[in-house]
Amino acid sequence: MRFKKYLSYTAGSVLFLLTACTSGPTFYSDSYLAGVGEKQFSQMKAQIPISNDAHFINQLERVARPIARQVSHRLPNANWEFIVFDTDDLNAFAMPGGKVGVFRGLLELMESDDELAAVIGHEVAHVLLDHSNERMSAEALRGIGGIIATVGTKNMERDDRAKVMTAYAVGTQLGIMLPYSRYQETDADREGLILAAKAGFDPRAAITFWQKMKAASHSNTPEFLSTHPSHGKRIEKLRQMMPEAMRIYMVTKPQEPKM
């Protein structure tokens, strides 16, 4: 059918642009993204309760500051800010510009600074690797592909045109955008282990943390419908990444006091 030609062309164009370089296309400046991050973070602080629990606040500062120092030469303009949000969510994030948020529910799951370092390392790695820029740029490319499909099908029958647009939306989401996002998650896991190890935290805690997350998860969403790898696959890949991180940790880990 004729609509298959348009679908193949537009989706193929987006896929080519996303895979043209290993890091993905980036269209936005660091200053623009930092401004967006600042605005979004301010909105979150205004809308979500902020914890005043000294234990959690001190733990976050104690873990996040050393990790931030590891990337200071690559993110020299970051204005680091670490906030504990007082909700039960099992979540954390980092935004361009150095804005980091961790939710109380996630901190309550932690048993050590090392586990928290695995999470903070991962989130800071997203910023370091410019993943927000890549995601926004990829969505822009996807939008351009949608415009191409809209223009290219303007003379088609309405039913065929609807099929093209639906297939494009679903196909690019499942076939391009979600796998692209899962690749970024794996990339951030790898870089996050290294950052945690360089900051003196035991990277093996990443495995124990994700085992807890797997036990706490109630989601039955298939991996191909998710932005993140499955917990089991993530743990498997972390084990594969561990030797490199452990070599760094054995050099940087705090030394035991001599008797």
Q: Which residues are catalytic?
A: 123
Phi, psi of 99 (to 5 degrees): -95, 120
Start-end of H helices in 19-96: 30-47, 54-70
The DSSP element (H or E) to which 138 belongs, if any, is: helix 131-152
CB 57 within 8 A of CB 84: yes
d(CA 159, CA 221): 31
Query: Please, what's the b/e burial string for 56-82 (b: 16 or more CB within 10 A of its CB; e: otherwise)?
Result: bbebbeebbebbbebbeeebeebebbb
C-alpha distances (whole Å) from 140 to each of 28, 135, 137, 146, 189 are: 11, 9, 5, 10, 25
